[in-house]
Structure formats: C-alpha cells, structure tokens
Amino acid sequence: MAGAAIAAVALLLLGQVILARGRTYLVNVDFTVDRTVGPDLGSTDPFELRVLGDSTAAGVGTDAIADALPVMIAERVAQRIGRPVHVVGHGVSGARTADVRREQLARLDDDVDAIVIAVGSNDVLHLTPTPRLQDQTRDLLRAARATGAPVVLGGIPRFAGVTALGRPLRDVTDRFAGIQREAQRRAAAPVDGAVFVDIAALASPRFAGRPEAFSSDDFHPSAVGYGFWADALAPAVVTVAGERQRAGGTSPVTGSR
C-alpha cells in the first residue's frame, strides 16, 4: 500500500514537472539596465552599483526599466544616501550561480562601489547538488570581493506562492529551495565584505494575497514584487557600502575624501 502511494505521488510530480516545463515563461526584456537615479547634486560623482544574477537581475517580469529590480534598488539607495546612483545590470535569464562567476564578473568595470547578486532559483530548478552550490556560491562571492567592492547576495526566494507550479510540486520545490538557501547563507558567512540577505524571510511573505506581485507568467515577480525585493536588499547595500567607504576614508553620501 505504501509503495503504491509513493508511486502515485511520484507519477503526480512527474506529470506536474512536464506541465511546468511546457508552460510559456517570460524570458527577455526590451531594455538594458544602465541608468542614473536619485538627486542631482551637481558635480557629485554617482555611487556605482552593479547587479548580477539571473532573470530577476535582468528585469524579466516588467515592461519598463524603471520597474526593474536593479533600478528599484538604486532608487532606494539614492534616497538613503542623498547621492545619485548609477546602476548597471548584468543579469541573464536562466543563469545559475556558476554562470554568474564565469560570465558576468568579467563584465564589471573599475571603481564599483557595491555589487548585488540575485541568483540561485535556477540552481533549485535544475537540481544543483547542495554541496556544489555552496562551493560555487563561496567561490562567486570571493571572486566578486576580489574587485574590492562589497557584495550583497540576495538569497533564493520562497516558491510557496509560485502558482506556475502545481501542488505538490510547488511544495517540494519550496522545501528544496530552503535547503539551497541555507547553503548560500553558509557560503556567505566566512567571506569578509559579503552579506547574505534573506529574501525568503524579508520579501516573500509580502507576496501572500497579492497576485499582482507576480508577472503574467505567474512565476517572475512584477514591478510590485520587485519593489518588495528592493526594500529588502537596499538597506544592506547602504550598510556594506558605508562600511567600505569609512574604511577607505570616503563618504558614501558625498563620495569625497
């Protein structure tokens, strides 16, 4: 009896995986994230922010650059430090943790003040083994820190509200995401100058009862959802950048020495 039940659940999950893979998801955006936001302080150099990662870092799920996650983070950072922020997004749809290190870090220019990385969901969906993800995350953060800029890692979000996945597949995916998220947290802990932000705890609960927080594919966040993420990530950017600037004798507000 137990064996039959397990087989039935396995067949159900397999069917839901096939259905999920057959859905149409948003993949591309019609813009490139490269924008300066915030107050006009004359000759003040802008705070240089770079955002790496997967489709969420690229802005997939939104129709306008102003609604993309990198720009929303930049706006919140600018408001807090009273200084313009120049943000460039390097996110690529489908990117996994190893892809970000291999392909996106090389695109960074000099004089970056802070780096945000939003990645890991595709590692969940593609079943990256947890020990491997932890090693890849640690290596990614160390390589990013080698640029001299502080790094904020946005942890894997909850999948509990992602209606593009049927149940119980959604629940199984959410549980695995939790395991992978803890691997990210462990990887970030020993890396000096890297901070882990728990999007699952700080932003994902705000999606509950808010279907408008998801985009039309019921998978990616919408502008509303990215606003929740930005609210969670921006304070960490301000904190790590401030610590770096103070250590280097500069001000995150004016950029002067």
- Digit-coded pLDDT (tens) for 169-218: 999 999 999 999 999 999 999 999 999 999 999 999 999 999 999 999 99
Please report the domains of the chain, with CATH numbers, ordered by start residue: 25-247 (3.40.50.1110)
The confidence score (pLDDT) of residue 110 equals: 80
The confidence score (pLDDT) of residue 253 equals: 54
- 12 falls in which pLDDT band (50, 70, 90)? low
* Phi/psi at 253 (5° precision): -85, -50
- 40 falls in which pLDDT band (50, 70, 90)? confident
The confidence score (pLDDT) of residue 44 equals: 79
Q: Angle formed by the axes of helices 169-188 and 2-22, to 10°?
A: 80
The confidence score (pLDDT) of residue 67 equals: 97
CA atoms within 13 A on the CB side of 199: 29
The pLDDT of residue 148 is above 70: yes
* Phi/psi at 250 (5° precision): -120, 165
The confidence score (pLDDT) of residue 243 equals: 74
Pair of tokens at residue 236: 């960490």
For residues 166 and 154, the model is more confident at 154
DSSP secondary structure letters along 161-205: T-TTS-TTHHHHHHHHHHHHHHHHHHHHTTSTTEEEE-HHHHTGG
Which residues, including other chains, have CB under 8 Å from residue 230's CB and lie 6 or more apart?
Answer: 69, 72, 73, 75, 76
The pLDDT of residue 80 is above 60: yes
Global pTM value: 0.91
Q: Strands 114-118 and 194-197: what pairing?
A: unpaired
The confidence score (pLDDT) of residue 2 equals: 58
Measured distance CA(52)–CA(96) in Å, rounded: 11
Measured distance CA(178)–CA(131) in Å, rounded: 14
- 10 falls in which pLDDT band (50, 70, 90)? low
- 256 falls in which pLDDT band (50, 70, 90)? very low
Segment 27-45 shows an average pLDDT of 86
The SS3 of residue 36 is strand
The confidence score (pLDDT) of residue 4 equals: 56
The confidence score (pLDDT) of residue 257 equals: 32
**Average pLDDT taken over every residue of the chain:** 90
The helix (H) or strand (E) run that includes residue 4 is helix 2-22
The pLDDT of residue 230 is above 60: yes
Q: Which residue has the tokens 């408001």?
A: 79
